[in-house]
Copies of this chain bind each other. A is one copy, B any other.
Amino acid sequence: MEFKRAADGEKGFEKVFAFLRERLLTGSLRPGDRLISERELATLLGVSRPIVREALRALTVLGIVEIRDRIGTVVTRPDVSVLNDFFTFALAQQADMLEDVMQARVAIECQAIRLACERANIADFERLQRALTKIGETIDEADAGGMADFDFHRAIVVASHSETLSVLHASMAGLLTHSHRSRRELVQAFPSMKTYLVDDHRRIFEALIARDPERADATLRKHFAIGDEYRRRAVVGDIDKTSASG
């Protein structure tokens, strides 16, 4: 073990990472398990501790593992934050990606609502109902209104009972949060938007209750399309006349 020459062919980091990867993928290491200490791992694989730490840190940012100070390293259940990080970086370097991410969000939600039509239970309906009520109540507030809107859409995804869809949606929603908010500020400029917001969400809710996937999907899609339309009109300055009151 005194040779840095990895007879295994892999460099230090790769060796450790591959070692742990294999244990994790084959199920030898499951969530909740505690890894052997960094020192043991180092001597076991014939590498130095800093290298082991690199590998553990890599697994940490992937959300696979959690390094607990003075306790040890434990395997965790895969977490969303990774995707969040990734998309945050990715988006930062490609600002034009925003519209693109929105497309992905639409994709996720439309699929989610289809699944939700099959799988939603009473609790899901209640959650949606509450969100719907909230949307009506907060129609005049940009902040609370945006949050209510967000909650409703999230409730749809939750109702799909799909972990993957939830994860993906959560990671995109985070990115779209601010755009969501600024969009909400348009409501004041478009009084007609108020009825659109309330009615549209209600229609989506009804389709969901009716457990009609096609209608739910179509309604949701239309909802997004109308939102886009409002945004377009805002860009070109086509404000509702009736709102000139200010």
Which A residues have a C-beta under 8 Å from some C-beta of B? 13, 21, 24-27, 30-31, 50, 53-54, 57-58, 60-64, 77-78, 82-83, 85-86, 88-90, 92-94, 97, 100-101, 103-104, 106-108, 110-112, 115, 160, 162-165, 167-168
Contact = CB atoms under 8 A, between A and B. Distances in A.
B93 A163 contact: no
Contacts of A78: 86, 89-90, 93-94
Contacts of A53: 50, 54
Given A78-B89, A111-B110, A100 B58 contact: no
Given A53-B54, A111-B104, A168-B168, A27 B92 contact: yes
Given A27-B93, A61-B61, A82-B82, 9 more contacts: A26-B92, A50-B53, A54-B54, A57-B57, A62-B85, A97-B164, A103-B160, A107-B112, A107-B165
A6 to B, nearest CB: 14
B165 A104 contact: yes
Nearest to A163: B100
Contacts of A27: 92-93
A51 to B, nearest CB: 9
Contacts of A165: 100, 103-104, 107
Most buried by B among A103, A107, A160, A167: A107
A25 B89 contact: yes
Contacts of A31: 93
B89 A86 contact: no
A86 B83 contact: yes
Contacts of A164: 97, 100-101, 103-104
27 contacts: A24-B89, A24-B93, A25-B89, A26-B92, A31-B93, A50-B54, A53-B54, A57-B58, A58-B58, A62-B85, A62-B86, A63-B86, A64-B89, A78-B90, A78-B94, A82-B82, A83-B83, A83-B86, A94-B163, A97-B163, A100-B164, A103-B111, A103-B165, A104-B108, A104-B165, A106-B111, A107-B110
A89 to B, nearest CB: 5
Contacts of A50: 50, 53-54
